[in-house]
């Protein structure tokens, strides 16, 4: 069996409105940014990591300010155009990426970790479907997308991951 090429994508295009400043660049106690931690957590599991929704990364598709689905769409098209089988995603506010997560997510169709919709596995073949979803009259909710494609929800009992939405969340780590 041929080993699949997997793309990693850090979804980092949010407005950080609850955080009050650019969350991706917030510095943790070790001196590294949340974005640095997200990239480092994903990197061992993929052939390449891209950052979506930032000036120095992949631009949201089809337009800026599409929310996480704009970044995912950019990553899916990048994956499809560069021979990747699919995309493992994480958010820039997720400084930990469990080593056992890719094996739990990857399989038939798309999958997300229960309660963490940005921690997911997305086959590259979903790119045209996400184009159609974003072109339709909808609120661009990731929940609507998950329902549309029938994504699996993976449960990992006992796994508790920090999610940084406010400065006090970062201070609490």
Instruction: Establish whether 12 is an annotated binding residue.
Output: yes
Instruction: Establish whether 93 is an annotated binding residue.
Output: yes
Contact 60, 70 (CB under 8 A): yes
Nearest-5° Cα angle at 142, 27 to 24: 10
Instruction: Establish whether 11 is an annotated binding residue.
Output: yes
Residue ranges of the binding site for GTP? 11-13, 65, 93
Q: Which residues are annotated as a binding site?
A: 11-13, 65, 93
- The annotated binding site for Mg(2+) is made up of 93
């Amino acid at each position: 069996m041929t080993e699949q090429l997997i793309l990693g994508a850090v979804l980092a295009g949010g407005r950080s409105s609850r955080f009050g400043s650019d969350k991706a660049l917030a510095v943790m106690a070790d001196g590294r940014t949340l974005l640095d931690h997200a990239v480092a957590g994903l990197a061992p599991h993929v052939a390449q990591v891209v950052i979506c929704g930032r000036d120095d990364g992949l631009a949201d598709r089809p337009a800026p300010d599409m929310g996480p689905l704009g970044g995912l769409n950019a990553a899916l098209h990048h994956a499809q155009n560069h021979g990747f089988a699919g995309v493992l995603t994480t958010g820039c506010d997720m400084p930990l990426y469990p080593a056992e997560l890719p094996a739990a997510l990857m399989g038939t169709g798309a999958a997300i970790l229960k309660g963490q919709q940005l921690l997911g596995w997305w086959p590259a073949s979903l790119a045209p479907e996400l184009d159609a979803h974003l072109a339709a009259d909808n609120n661009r909710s990731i929940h609507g997308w998950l329902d549309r494609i029938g994504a699996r929800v993976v449960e990992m009992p006992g796994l508790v991951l920090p999610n940084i939405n406010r400065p006090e969340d970062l201070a609490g780590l």
